[in-house]
């Protein structure tokens, strides 16, 4: 069984790192470094994947016999993950716009 507190922290840390890399990618693109921007997005994808895998494990655990209590920190972790996923999608679109200039 996954410890809830550890799982939540893993989601928050990885999602936060992914989001930070997305914004670094945007700065690189703004400076004309499209290759660097794309590399940063790939790095962001790795952290996002780790956060999403932990979320999936928690969902699977919750669907089974190990029901998880809904806590404010869990909602916070979900918020971090969702905003990082949105940042990733928007960053890619904005980088494409910079690339077209």
Question: Which residues carry out catalysis?
Answer: 76
Q: What dihedral do alpha carbons 31, 49, 18, 10 form, nearest 10°?
A: -170
Q: What dihedral do alpha carbons 52, 54, 56, 57 form, nearest 10°?
A: 170
């Amino acid at each position: 069984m996954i410890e809830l507190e550890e799982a939540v922290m893993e989601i928050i840390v990885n999602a936060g790192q992914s989001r930070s890399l997305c914004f670094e990618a945007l700065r690189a693109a703004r400076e004309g470094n499209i290759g660097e921007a794309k590399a940063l997005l790939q790095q962001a994808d790795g952290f996002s994947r780790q956060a999403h895998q932990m979320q999936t494990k928690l969902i699977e655990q919750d669907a089974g016999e190990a029901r998880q209590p809904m806590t404010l920190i869990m909602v916070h972790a979900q918020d971090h993950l969702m905003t990082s996923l949105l940042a990733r999608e928007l960053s890619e679109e904005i980088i494409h716009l910079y690339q077209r200039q």
